[in-house]
Chain A
Amino acid sequence: MRIALARIIHGVGELILTAGVLLVLFAAYGLYGTAAETEAEQDRLNTVFHTGPLAAAPPPARESEPVSVLDIPRLKKSWVVVEGVSQKALKKGPGHYPETADPGEVGNFAVAAHRTPSFFWDLDLLREGDEIVAETRSTRFVYRVVRQRIVTPGQVEVIDPNPDAPGAPARREMLTLTTCHPRMANYQRLVVHAELAESLPKGAA
């Protein structure tokens, strides 16, 4: 009787340990397992973005197609932003919320990405005044961080055309980045707002 009980407890212990190891492995996969795939996608998007035909007024990008280049000097990171925020799109790169403004437009150019080392892992390190550059085929739009905040996933007003007064008409050119918070969890969102500081046409430089 005692021996049977000991064996059952032993078995349960092994199962729990195994589950723990599995979870740690899965977390590691979430952080690093997708990096290679992401990098290959980003390389491909970079080529597409820089070699496609240069239209004066490019048509709206379709789902998962490149929208702009996003550059964050403080984090030493640069990505090609794709259209859409579906899981499929966010696997390839940061995703542009489809209903929001384009880079440089009055309104809110809003972009979401995973909180993984490939993307917005260190987004919380951004400070007021830091540059965030959104680059289209023709122009470099330099934004400066104005505010960082933590919200619940339901607070869609952060991507409103006017995030300071949701619902009111948009007056300024804003850029908003969203990612999950805290790291490796899913119950809050880290949001960074930035405002356009200057537009530099590329041909002129």
Chain B
Amino acid sequence: MYGWIWRRLPGGPATKLLLSALILTAVGALLWFVVFPWAEPLLPFDDGVVGPTS
């Protein structure tokens, strides 16, 4: 999967490295600011309430 992406990226090794870093940052930001805030209430791994929780 990652090898496939690496081969698809244009340019020499330096350009590929830079593009990879960009893609990583973009995916990370998408996860942190969009996906995780959405998923967090669905997966409450630090719920501190006793009793039948809503």
| Residues of A in contact with B (beta carbons under 8 Å apart) | 11, 14-15, 22, 25-27, 29-30, 33-34, 85-87, 90, 95, 112-116, 119-120, 151, 153-156, 158-159, 178-180, 183-186, 189, 191
| Closest B residue by C-beta to A18 | B1
| Closest B residue by C-beta to A116 | B46
| Closest B residue by C-beta to A183 | B46
| Residues of B in contact with A (beta carbons under 8 Å apart) | 1-2, 28, 31-32, 36-37, 39-41, 43-51, 53-54
Q: Which residues of B contact A154 (CB under 8 A)?
A: 50-51
Q: Which residues of A contact B36 (CB under 8 A)?
A: 25-26, 29, 33
Determine the main DSSP class of B at the interface with A.
Answer: loop
Q: How far is A73 from B51 in the complex, measured between Cα atoms in Å?
A: 28
Q: Which of B41, B48, B51 contacts A179 (CB 8 A)?
A: B48
Determine the main DSSP class of A at the interface with B.
Answer: mixed
Q: Which of B2, B40, B41 contacts A29 (CB 8 A)?
A: B40
Q: B44, A186: Cβ atoms under 8 Å?
A: yes
What's the count of A-B pairs with C-beta under 8 Å? 77
Q: A180, B47: Cβ atoms under 8 Å?
A: yes
Known: A15-B1, A30-B40, A30-B45. A156 touches B50 (CB 8 A): yes
Nearest CB of chain A from residue B25's CB, rounded to whole Å: 13
Q: A30, B32: Cβ atoms under 8 Å?
A: no
Q: A186, B28: Cβ atoms under 8 Å?
A: no
| Closest A residue by C-beta to B51 | A156
Q: A159, B51: Cβ atoms under 8 Å?
A: yes
Q: Which residues of A contact B1 (CB under 8 A)?
A: 11, 14-15
Nearest CB of chain A from residue B8's CB, rounded to whole Å: 15
Q: A34, B40: Cβ atoms under 8 Å?
A: yes
9 contacts between A and B (CB under 8 A): A25-B28, A25-B31, A26-B31, A86-B54, A115-B46, A153-B47, A159-B51, A179-B48, A189-B48
